[in-house]
Amino acid sequence: MKKSVLKLLLSFFIFNCYLTIDSLHAQTKSTTLSTENKVTEKVLQDILDQNKQFATQGKVADYIPELGKMSADAIAFSVVDTNGKVFSVGDTNKKFTMQSISKIIALMVAVQENGEEAVFKNMGYFGSDKPFNHFGNLEITGKPLNPMMNAGAILTVSMIQGEDDIAFQKVLNMVRFITKNNNINYNEAVYLSEKETGHRNRGMFYIMKNSGLIMGEENQLDNYFKQCSIEVTAEDLAKIGYFFANECVRFDGDATYKNADVSKLIQSQMLVAGMYEFSGEYARRIGLPSKSGVGGGITVSVPGKMGIGVFSAPLDGHGNSVAGYQMILDFSKRFHLNIFQP
């Protein structure tokens, strides 16, 4: 054999050895990483234990009297991992009202029925820099700032078609579908308490009726109060987070509502307005589309991957669960989930 051919064969052999060693190295590395990065109940329990004391720094919402009855000590943490597997720790059976988290479901139903263009004709995509019940924008531009603040959410549910409480029933049924939990219902006492004391929301409703944005009657406002009163667990919230993270495909793979555009819309609204006036800082610190409710729940979508659901009733000054926020922060750091710093 010629010397040059031998040389060529030898260098080819050496190159192949490098490739094999390199791929072996990569394989070992990825095995180590995947073991380290596995979601387990133990990981969740550790995070819950380390953060439950933060609940003492918050205050249970009582501006709706019935909400003030929630236990300050109950705490739960759930995750639906990338494969749709559910992990839950803490007070897993504890039910609480969705409150503002219902706004993402109502937005989905309204967009499904009317199309995104029609829904956003009279409402902005803006981020929130004001509390959830602020409605200054209605006065200045004549339109709600976004569908995550109360004014925009009241307008959103009014766009879902149907007499009486049909719009609410559609939102409830969508929550039941996403969570695969037909036992979910609304809490009548919380609903009545919201209806009785929600004068500010009633004010927004009538301002929008006055300007022609809302055509219907007060049953449409009742639908908003009812959707806020839907009771869920942290696990239900994790399933909702997973659904929007994964193009509206359910945790068990059911793709009935698969829609990449809708999930992109909902997650972008969660990111810029889901945590109210804290949304910008939250995006900086946690970097995940999230939606909170004054009932103490937060649902989080890890785009293309997981869903997280937390519950702890005591809230910070913005209306976000204090211990819930801390659990999400620790979990996202532990698994490098921040979309701006993976």
- Is residue 290 within 8 Å of 275, Cβ to Cβ? yes
Least separation in angstroms between CB 32 and ligand DON: 40
Which residues of the shown chain bind ligand DON in the complex (CB under 6 A)? 99-100, 132-133, 150, 194, 201, 228, 292-294, 319
Helices 102-114, 234-245: axis angle to 10 degrees equals 40
Nearer to ligand DON, 96 or 335 (CB): 96
Least separation in angstroms between CB 100 and ligand DON: 3
List the one residue out of 198, 238, 201, 169 whose CA is nearest residue 67.
198
Least separation in angstroms between CB 130 and ligand DON: 12
Neighbours of 84 (CB within 10 A): 16
Nearer to ligand DON, 165 or 247 (CB): 165
Any idea which residues carry the catalytic annotation?
100, 103, 224, 276, 294
Nearer to ligand DON, 90 or 293 (CB): 293
Spatial CB neighbours of 183, under 8 Å, sequence gap ≥ 6: none
User: CA 152, 168, 130: angle at the middle one, nearest 5?
Assistant: 20
Residue with tokens 């004549």: 142
Nearer to ligand DON, 289 or 319 (CB): 319
Nearer to ligand DON, 98 or 248 (CB): 98
Least separation in angstroms between CB 140 and ligand DON: 21
List the one residue out of 300, 311, 288, 296 whose CA is nearest residue 88.
311
- Nearest-angstrom CA–CA distance, 236 and 311: 11
Q: Which amino acid is at 61?
A: A
- Is residue 138 within 8 Å of 207, Cβ to Cβ? yes
Least separation in angstroms between CB 258 and ligand DON: 28
- Is residue 280 within 8 Å of 129, Cβ to Cβ? yes
